[in-house]
Amino acid sequence: MLNRLFTDPLQLGLAQALAAAIVAYAVVLVARRRQIHLEREAAIALVRGLVQIVAVGSVLVLLLHSSRWIGAPALAAMIFAAGVTSAKRAKGVPGSLQVSTVAIACGAGSVIAIMTWLGVIHTAITTLIPIGSMLIANAMNTNGLALNRFRSDVLAHVGEIETALALGAAPTQSVADYVQASFEASLIPAIDSLRSLGIVWIPGLMAGMLLSGSRPIYAAIYQFVVLAMIFAASGFTSLVSTLLIRAHVFTAAEQLLLRPGAVAVHSKG
Amino acid sequence: MIVASHLGRSVGGRALVDDISVQVRAGEVLAVVGPSGAGKSSFLRLLNRLDEPTAGTVLLEGIDYRGIPPRELRRRVGMVTQRAFLFPGTVSQNVGFGPRQQGEVISEARAEELLARVGLTGFADRDVTNLSGGEAQRVSLARALANSPLVLLLDEPTSALDDDAKSQVEGLIGDIIRDTGLTCVVVTHDFAQAARMATRALLLQGGRAIRIGPIAEVLNA
Residue of chain B whose alpha carbon sits nearest to that of A159: B85
Domains of chain B with CATH codes: 25-38+70-199+210-220 (3.40.50.300)
Contacts 24+ apart (CB under 8 A), B136-139: B136/B84, B136/B86, B137/B80, B137/B84, B137/B161, B137/B165, B137/B169, B138/B169, B138/B172, B139/B84, B139/B86, B139/B91, B139/B94, B139/B95, B139/B115
Of A160, A169, A251, the CB nearest to B52: A251
Pairing of strands B29-33, B183-187: parallel
* Contacts with A164 from chain B: Cβ below 8 Å: 87, 97
* Contacts with A162 from chain B: Cβ below 8 Å: 50
Q: Which of B10, B47, B52, B137 to mutate to probe the A interface, most A CBs <10 Å?
A: B52
Determine whether the interchain pair A166/B71 forms a contact, defined as Cβ–Cβ distance below 8 Å. Answer: no
Q: Is the pLDDT of residue A267 over 80?
A: no
Task: Return the closest-CA partner of residue B181 out of B24, B26, B1.
Answer: B26
Predicted confidence (pLDDT) per residue in A228-256, tens digit = 999 999 999 999 999 999 989 999 999 99
Has this prediction a pTM greater than 0.90? Answer: no
CB pairs under 8 A between A and B: 68
Give the pLDDT of chain B (221 residues) as one tens digit per residue: 899 999 999 998 899 999 999 999 988 999 999 999 899 999 999 999 999 999 999 999 999 999 999 999 999 999 999 999 999 999 999 999 999 999 999 999 999 999 998 889 999 999 999 999 889 999 999 999 999 999 999 999 888 788 878 888 888 888 888 888 899 999 998 898 899 889 999 999 999 999 999 999 998 87
Q: Are B7 and B46 in contact (CB under 8 A)?
A: yes
* Contacts with A168 from chain B: Cβ below 8 Å: 71-72, 74-75, 98, 101-102, 147
C-alpha–C-alpha distance, residues B111 and B95, integer Å: 7
